[in-house]
Amino acid sequence: MTTTRHASRPGFRTLTAVFSFLLLALPAWAAPKKIIFDTDPGTDDAMALILALNSPELDLRAITVVPGNVTAQMGLENALKMVSLANRCDIPVAAGAQHPLFQKLVTAEFWHGKNGLGDVELPTGKCKVDSRYAADLIIQLIHESPHEITLVPVGPLTNIALALEKDPSIVPLVKEVVLMGGSISGGNVNAAAEANIYNDPEAAQIVFQAGWPLTMVGLEVGDKALLTQKYLDQIGQTHGPINDFMYAVVKHLVDLSARFGSLGTPMYDPSAVAVAVDSSLVKTKDMHVDVETRGEFTRGETVANRHNAVERNVLRGDHYVIEGVESVKPNAKVCVDVDADRFLQMFVSRVKGK
Ligand SMILES: [Ca+2]
């Protein structure tokens, strides 16, 4: 008896431990990730927002609007129309900055259509704007759920920088930042800069240097993940208010891409949401990234140090001498590759509500 009882105890303890672990681990595993979506909608913003709304892994706590692709006012109207379409007036939609920190706004109706949504008209919805200012709402939500909020900015980083400037104590309380912006292989606005960073380089530099966990989902992801006619046809196979809206917006983008000789439309903004849903879609490398704010040809470039080291040059007489190498601390996980087909399949199936 004694031997049996002794023999059974470790097994029982193991089972109890496993059960307790599951009880503790399950809610955390099952709980959707709380995100704040900062956006300048925008056609690819629309794709990103629908992906976020249709992803059970995410709990969209707020949408904050920043000027970029369109003016702040038009972006706000578009955001409200889309949450209305999705029947999600429970999600606060807040207005924020009206212009970049230190430069004039550059809007992009050329790419996004006169209304910012590829000239796809949505009815004025029933959802109303939240009374809180975007930066204040970001600060409030982070303090209400410390270490639980993931920021997903897919526009210029003005609102996020304003929140940081107003309350730097949010830095250690944010779970992570997964942003769409930047590039380590040339720009899409010009030779050097990606659009979101180009539209507010000073704000971007503040956000990159804040000291929080940050993933940069840049052009290396979006340009590799092209939504082609094949995927558009799949979206067109099913119908519903969101499905049909997405089909029309994506068709606008695929047709636009064809005019510029591309086989499909790059999945820029949806890529940050996709990484928030499933980080295994991308390969990352830790790098130190600075944002160029002064270059004649490079303002808005994300300057990434691939080997995280700089030479130490010391003045000796009339010239400098390299005396060693100093390490540089990475401040970003930079996405360098993506499983494009898996990402696109996920996007299509989520749009279709599956
Ligand atoms: Ca955007």
Average of per-residue pLDDT across 49-59? 98
Q: How many CA atoms lie within 13 A of 280 on its CB side?
A: 2
Residue 208 · residue 291 · CB < 8 Å: yes
Residue 210: closest CA among 153, 250, 131: 153
Ligand 1 centroid distance, CA of 317 (Å): 51
pLDDT in tens, 161-184: 999 999 999 999 999 999 999 999
Rounded to the nearest 5 percent, the helix, strand and coil shares of the chain are 45, 20, 35
- Condensed to tens digits (0 to 9), the pLDDT of residues 309-326 reads 999 999 999 999 999 999
Q: How far is the CA of 156 from the centre of ligand 1 (A)?
A: 7
pLDDT for 134 beyond 70: yes
The single residue listed with the structure tokens 């920043």 is 66
At 149, phi and psi to the nearest 5? -90, 130
Q: What is the pLDDT of residue 125?
A: 85
Q: How far, in Å, from the CA of 131 to the mean position of ligand 1?
A: 22
Q: Which amino acid belongs to residue 11?
A: G
Distance 99 CA to ligand 1 centre (A): 15
Mean model confidence pLDDT for the chain? 93
Model confidence band, residue 13 (pLDDT cutoffs 50, 70, 90): low
Average pLDDT of the residues in 42-53: 98
Ligand 1 mean position to 104 CA, how many Å?
Answer: 17
What would the 3-class secondary structure string for 76-93 be? HHHHHHHHHHCCCCCCCE
Ligand 1 centroid–CA 105 distance in Å is 14
Task: Kindly state the DSSP code that residue 105 receives in the 8-state scheme.
Answer: -
For 67, 78, 156, 160, 335, the CA distances from 38, given in Å and listed in that order, are 10, 13, 9, 8, 20
Distance 44 CA to ligand 1 centre (A): 6
Tell me how far the alpha carbon of residue 119 is from its chain's centroid.
24
Ligand 1 centroid to residue 294 C-alpha, Å: 23
Residue whose C-alpha is closest to residue 225's, from 172, 296, 157, 273: 273
Cα–Cα dist 143/128, whole Å: 24
- 75 C-alpha to center of ligand 1: Å? 10
CA angle 211, 204, 276 (to 5 degrees): 70
CA of 211 to the centre of ligand 1 (A): 23
Q: Rounded distance, CA 242 to CA 258, Å? A: 24
E strands within the chain? 33-39, 58-65, 93-95, 149-153, 174-180, 214-217, 226-228, 264-266, 282-291, 302-305, 309-316, 319-327, 332-338
Spatial distance between the Cα atoms of 315 and 236, rounded to a whole number of angstroms: 65
- Contact, 174 vs 151, CB < 8 A? yes
Decide if pLDDT at 17 tops 80.
no
* Residue in 214, 174, 225 with CA at minimum distance from that of residue 48: 225
Ligand 1: centre distance to CA 316 (Å): 49
In the β-sheet with 58-65, what is the strand arrangement from edge to edge? 93-95, 58-65, 33-39, 149-153, 174-180, 214-217, 332-338, 282-291, 302-305
- Percentage, residues of the chain above pLDDT 70: 92
Distance from Cα 331 to the centre of ligand 1, integer Å? 22
Distance 144 CA to ligand 1 centre (A): 26
Gap from CA of 72 to ligand 1 centroid (Å): 12
Confidence of residue 77 (pLDDT cuts 50, 70, 90): very high
CA within 13 Å, CB half, 350: 22
| Distance of CA 136 from the midpoint of ligand 1 (Å) | 21
Q: State the residue for tokens 């059970």.
A: 56
DSSP 172: G
Question: What span, in angstroms and rounded, lies between the C-alpha atoms of 51 and 308?
Answer: 34
Q: How far is the CA of 237 from the centre of ligand 1 (A)?
A: 27
The token duo for 53 is 């709304």
Mean pLDDT confidence for 82-99? 98
CA of residue 230 to ligand 1 center, whole Å:
24
pLDDT at 27: 52
